[in-house]
Amino acid sequence: MLVGPGATAAVVLGIFGLLIGSFANVVIYRVPEGRSIVRPPSGCPACGSRVRSRDNIPVISWVVLRGRCRDCHAPISLRYPAVEALVGALFAGVGLRFGISWTGVGEAALAAGLVVLAFIDLEHLLLPKKIVYATLTVVAVVFVAGAATGTQWHRLLVAAISAVVPWALFFVINFVSPRAMGFGDVRLALLIGFGLGWLGAGYAFLGFIVASVLGSVVGVTMIALGKAGRRTPIPFGTFLAAGAVVAVLAGAPVVNWYAAQIH
């Protein structure tokens, strides 16, 4: 562990998270359109003007520019600073909880990938497999390194089992009723199960339960308000991501309480 859990780790990871959040916006905007996330450099969608370095400071630049392009004054979506602030806050929360460690880095990478997937699914009802697998690869490499350096192979085994079980369950649901669950959710279940399983099987179980409850509450509420029907597709990947983040940052009391009850 480089830095223990606490304020220092939260500040360091939080600042890094703001930078990652800026890149996350590029991925959210370009991947659904099939565009490269590397080239061309970021520019205004309205006039095409390249974003200057001084206008590319996370959150601050949006505030200074009052949410408008410096050149054409077209409005810049609030989503950009929101994503940057969200990723920064999640990274800070991970630092506060796990410090700068193999676990902290892995869970931060998971959180960043889930934010990207959540926003894309919310807007496009799409969970790009390249993002799911890229995030899974990064998280897996970090946790394998953590297992090797800390002789914690049992945690890696639990993570693998926690990934396969929900993946298999979601796969069956998709096979029986593809309209009830898309295959993107099946892939996402593998990623979330692995990321949460490193912390313990209880965290993975809690994450999926929270996601189901959130999805049900929002779905029922929208139907009651006449905003959706029973056949209206919902971005379940967004709820899966939210449930996973809740489990990582706030799941310990619930998991520990449950463990105490069964012993």
CA 201, CA 191: separation in Å to the nearest integer?
Answer: 14
pLDDT given for residue 227 in this prediction: 81
Q: Tell me which H or E stretch contains 255.
A: helix 252-261
pLDDT at 230 over 80: no
Q: Which two tokens stand for residue 217?
A: 């509450």
Together in a domain, 193 and 222:
yes
Q: How far are the Cα atoms of 51, 66, 76, 223 from residue 45, in angstroms, in the given order?
A: 10, 17, 9, 35
Together in a domain, 171 and 248:
yes
User: pLDDT tens, 204-228?
Assistant: 999 999 999 999 999 888 888 888 7
Q: Report percent pLDDT > 90 for the chain.
A: 76
Together in a domain, 183 and 210:
yes
Together in a domain, 121 and 80:
no
pLDDT given for residue 187 in this prediction: 97
Residue of 211, 208, 214 lying closest to 193 (CA atoms): 208
Range of the domain at 82: 1-99
Q: Which of 73, 99, 125 is the last residue of a domain?
A: 99
pLDDT given for residue 1 in this prediction: 65
What is the pLDDT averaged over residues 165-183?
93
What is the pLDDT averaged over residues 71-91?
95
User: pLDDT tens, 108-149?
Assistant: 999 999 999 999 999 999 999 999 999 999 999 999 999 999
Together in a domain, 72 and 124:
no
Overall number of domains in the chain: 2
Residue 168 C-alpha from the chain's centroid: 21
Together in a domain, 197 and 95:
no
CA 239, CA 223: separation in Å to the nearest integer?
Answer: 17
Q: Which of 55, 81, 99 is the last residue of a domain?
A: 99
Share the mean pLDDT of the chain.
Answer: 93
pLDDT at 194 over 70: yes
pTM: 0.94
Together in a domain, 105 and 36:
no
User: pLDDT tens, 44-77?
Assistant: 888 878 888 888 899 999 999 999 998 898 999 9
pLDDT given for residue 263 in this prediction: 67
Q: Which of 84, 99, 114 is the last residue of a domain?
A: 99
pLDDT given for residue 192 in this prediction: 98
Residue 175 C-alpha from the chain's centroid: 25
